[in-house]
DNA sequence: TCATATATGTCAACATGGCTGACGTAAATC
DNA sequence: GATTTACGTCAGCCATGTTGACATATATGA
């Protein structure tokens, strides 16, 4: 009944605590995407382009199907963005060897350059937050966020290549 | 030069570690917003409406200016969403007493009902992740994410009412 | 071999939610 | 009394999501 000391018993979850957790996610995401968005605008691109460039860079040779599963958008939405990236020479497509229906996606050197430029600020931001918070906090960050991800993608995290 | 054991020395930040941190944020945010988005669609609303409802519920009597500072969008973008919410009876505006130029924003009972419905799933998701990860992990989650937020908003977190 | 399923692409139309620019009003402040 | 501030509004643009329909090439299984 009495007020609860947050530090000693944080698993008695007050509405305040949960709201703080929600807001942290909102503010962090908002500030995390601001700088890349500004850079993308110079290229006539948007956040969707960054996501594609990021995940293609992360998983070279990824298929369109796999990319769709990660982004959870429709193939039409992806196609529009992908077409622009291919046309402008940031991504190249190669036919799959085992399955020739597949278009395997790779960053071109130009694409890698942009990827680095875009993600640079995010990496620095994460690195700074990690360093300031310390090793134990990093482990906590990872386990809480992993717990918020739907089961189907939890396994995808921290594996260099999704099952193909 | 040799490979680094992540557990014992996580502050030697490999590119892999940073990318994992980035992806955790992306996946968590993606899955965190999916359910509310689906509910909003039934009302003809979008994610922007949720954000407004959320922060008005969080800070009853918030001014338009304060809300703009939180959302970091233009007043035109906010106005569009706000007008719909007021017209449809989810939010009501009262003239400020000290400063009569202000329009103080409040949720109507109908607005509160929707807020609960929308945020319910997010609260449950956070609560589950918190419980599974444990108290120490929660503290880590909080401190890392707080470190990623721009300075100007860091102080806003965990205060029921922004300075007005 | 033939039917079916899969991977991918494409066209068209629509909605949400950002943005810029311009302009207007009422109230506070210097 | 001039200026600043809080707020609103109209108009138009763009990025990015959606649904629905249809096409093609390839893989796979009966």
**Residue A38 CA to its chain's centroid (Å):** 17
**What residue spans define the domains of chain B?**
15-154
Query: A20 — contact with chain B (CB < 8 Å)?
Result: yes
pLDDT tens-digit readout, A16-45: 999 999 999 999 999 999 999 999 999 999
pLDDT at A64: 98
Tell whether B121 lies on the interface with A, counting CB pairs under 8 A. no
Closest-CA distance of chain A to residue B7, Å: 9
CA of A52 to C1' of D17 (A): 15
Q: Which residues in chain A have Cβ-Cβ distances shorter than 8 Å to B11?
A: 130-131, 134-135, 138
pLDDT tens-digit profile of B116-154? 999 999 999 999 999 999 999 999 999 999 999 998 888
Q: How close is the nearest chain A Cα to the Cα of B101, in Å?
A: 28
Alpha-carbon distance values, B67 to A17, B81, B103, B122 (Å): 21, 12, 11, 21
**Cα gap A59→B18, rounded to integer Å:** 15
Which among B125, B139, B146 is the nearest to A140, CB-wise?
Answer: B139
Q: Quick one: which H or E segment has residue A105?
A: strand A103-107
Q: Domain A15-154 falls in which CATH fold?
A: Arc Repressor Mutant, subunit A (1.10.10)
A 77-116 residues with CB < 8 A to B: none
pLDDT in tens, B22-60: 999 999 999 999 999 999 999 999 999 999 999 999 999
Distance CA B126, CA B61 (A): 26
Contacts of B14 (CB under 8 A, 6+ apart): B4, B6
Do residues A110 and A91 make contact, with C-beta atoms less than 8 angstroms apart? no
For chain B, the 3-state helix, strand and coil shares in percent, each to the nearest 5, are 65, 5, 30
- β-pair partners for B91: B107
């Amino acid at each position: 009944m009495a007020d609860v000391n947050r530090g000693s018993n944080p698993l008695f979850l007050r509405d305040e605590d949960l709201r703080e957790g929600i807001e942290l996610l909102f503010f962090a995401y908002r500030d995390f995407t601001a700088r890349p968005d500004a850079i993308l605008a110079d290229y006539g691109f948007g956040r969707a382009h960054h996501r594609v460039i990021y995940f293609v860079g992360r998983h070279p040779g990824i298929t369109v199907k796999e990319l769709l599963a990660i982004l959870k958008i429709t193939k039409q939405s992806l196609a529009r963005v992908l077409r622009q990236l291919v046309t402008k020479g940031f991504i190249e497509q190669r036919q799959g060897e085992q399955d020739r229906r597949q278009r395997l996606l790779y960053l071109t050197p130009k694409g890698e350059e942009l990827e680095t430029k875009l993600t640079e600020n995010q990496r620095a931001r994460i690195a700074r937050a990690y360093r300031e918070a310390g090793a134990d906090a990093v482990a906590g960050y990872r386990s809480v966020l992993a717990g918020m991800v739907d089961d189907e993608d939890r396994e995808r995290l921290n594996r260099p290549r999704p099952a193909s």
